Structure 1
Amino acid sequence: MNGDRERDESGQFEAEHTDDEIIQAVRLNEPAGTQEVADELEIARQSADYRLRRLLDQGRVEKKMIGNSLAWEVTE
């Protein structure tokens, strides 16, 4: 699966989706669960969680608890 993906200068695999694609997946499902974002982009839940937390650190999305579930919303 990862055999065809390019690595960056630090040896990390380059992202399959842009930040804007992640944000669009959140918008389509808002408030979006992590699994919903993962399903929309056909990536692993862990990958979606990592990317969403990076966007959270950048202030581009926010998270909130809805019941016992974490949900994401776009802040732009």
Structure 2
Amino acid sequence: MTRSDEDYIEAVKKHSPASTREVAEEVGVTRQGADYRLRKLESEGQVRSERIGNSLAWFLSK
């Protein structure tokens, strides 16, 4: 089963600010898989990332 971009966006929305791990667990993929898709969505302007301490947090774009 493939995960849609909407699945990732909903996971970010649910956990905002969301860690890559939280999104991966919510969508049911590896952390690396979630990171790849989230960066793609970021390049498209759907989500944005922000470094908080040593962690990367994901938010919906405004």
Equivalent pairs counted in the alignment come to 62
Rg larger in structure = 1
Sequence identity (%): 47
Greater fraction of residues in strand: 2
- CA-atom RMSD, angstroms? 1.1
Greater fraction helix: 2
TM-score (normalizing by structure 2):
0.94
Structure 2's unaligned 5+ residue stretches are none
* TM-score normalised by the chain length of structure 1: 0.77
Q: Which has the higher contact order (CA 8 A, sep 6+)?
A: 2
Structure 1: give runs of 5+ residues left out of the alignment: 6-15
Regions of 4+ moved over 4 Å: none
